[in-house]
Amino acid sequence: MAKNSRHVVPAPTGGWSVRKTGATRASKNFDRQSDAVSYAKNLAKREKADVYVHGKSGMVRDHTSYEQD
């Protein structure tokens, strides 16, 4: 898992958050998971990083990599 990976996680106050690996605060919060995933994927493409999408239970349900070999 790359250090600058992005995670789409359930927000404690409702909705969804995008967080960088190891961060305690969210980069941005969204009402809909699809909006959070789009934002995280745009960041990851630019940074050549991974995106991990977590479900409501917190388990990873999807992973996309934009890293170059």
Express each pLDDT in 9-67 by its tens digit. 999 999 999 999 999 899 999 999 999 999 999 999 999 999 999 999 999 999 999 98
Q: State how many domains the chain has.
A: 1
The reported pLDDT for the residue numbered 50 is 95
Q: Kindly tell me the sign of the dihedral angle through the C-alpha atoms of 33, 6, 47, 63.
A: negative
Task: Examine residue 68 and state whether it is found in any structural domain, yes or no.
Answer: no
**pTM, entire model:** 0.90
Full residue range of the structural domain in which residue 38 is found: 6-63
Token digits of residue 62: 């999807």
For residue 35, being part of any structural domain is answered with: yes
pLDDT of residue 2: 55
CA-CA distances (angstroms) from residue 57 to 2, 14, 45, 60, 68?
A: 23, 13, 26, 9, 30
pLDDT band at 68; cut points 50, 70, 90: low
Rounded distance, CA 31 to CA 57, Å? Answer: 17
